[in-house]
Amino acid sequence: MDTNFLGLSNLHVYSVNMQIEGNSVNIKESQSYHHGDLRLAAIAAGMKRIEDMAHPDLGLRELARELGVSATALYRHFPNKGALLDALALEAADRLGANQAEAALAAGGGRDGFVEVGVTYVQWAVENPALVRLIFNRIGKVDLESDEPSKMGEAFRQLRNGISTLMPEDMSSERRKVAALHSWSLVHGLAMLILDGQVEYDPDMVRKVILSKHFGGS
């Protein structure tokens, strides 16, 4: 199977998803970090804090107190609160993308794998509502056709790579954009309807809707 469809060469699987309690370094008690470790620790702790928030929000000083460091130390890595939230949103998008990649691999890639990318999008959104809202509150406009991968997060790369693999090589750029937007709108719309209480979450129904609309089709 061509794993390029899954974007695995760019995959940052839970790159900063540290398990605080089980880590050998007690973040609460440690006052010393190697270069770069504080940024990773801050993102890990911030993700854990924000997961259960109805309205994702987190300040640098609050996070610094939890980590047992000065706010000045955190400001070296995040110049302001917005930069911290942007980093957390990108990590959330990477976590979603990692789950999508795993599901696509299990399905054997190709069209079946891409269907699982969509199904997983909805499932992950239902299980992580605060993180999904954070992603779309902080990550601005995304051009699935031309944006640099570093700007998109793994979830968006999964969608773009899937479209690229399934569409004929001679398909026009415009048709690729239409296909990508169609696929994204379908799964994101389903997820938001469920999260906002308009539709009850039924995994079987989600799969049927995605298949009935030819997810990723031309």
Q: What is the pLDDT of residues 57-101, one digit of tens each?
A: 888 988 999 899 988 999 999 999 999 999 999 899 889 989 998
* This prediction's pTM: 0.74
The class (CATH top level) of 92-212 is: mainly alpha
Phi, psi of 215 (to 5 degrees): -50, 120
Alpha-carbon distance of 45 to 50, in angstroms, equals 9
Asked if residue 114 has pLDDT above 80, the reply is yes
Question: Are 58 and 49 within 8 A, CB to CB?
Answer: yes
Over the stretch 18-70, which tens digit does the pLDDT of each residue have?
333 333 333 343 445 555 589 999 999 999 988 877 777 888 988 999 899 98
Handedness of CA 156, 157, 162, 168 (dihedral sign): positive
Question: Are 27 and 20 within 8 A, CB to CB?
Answer: yes
Over the stretch 4-21, which tens digit does the pLDDT of each residue have?
333 333 333 333 333 333
Contacts 24+ apart (CB under 8 A), 190-197: 190/122, 191/121, 191/122, 191/125, 191/126, 191/132, 192/125, 194/122, 194/125, 194/126, 195/125, 195/126, 195/129, 195/132, 195/133
pLDDT at 188: 93
Distance from CA of residue 195 to its chain's centroid? 16
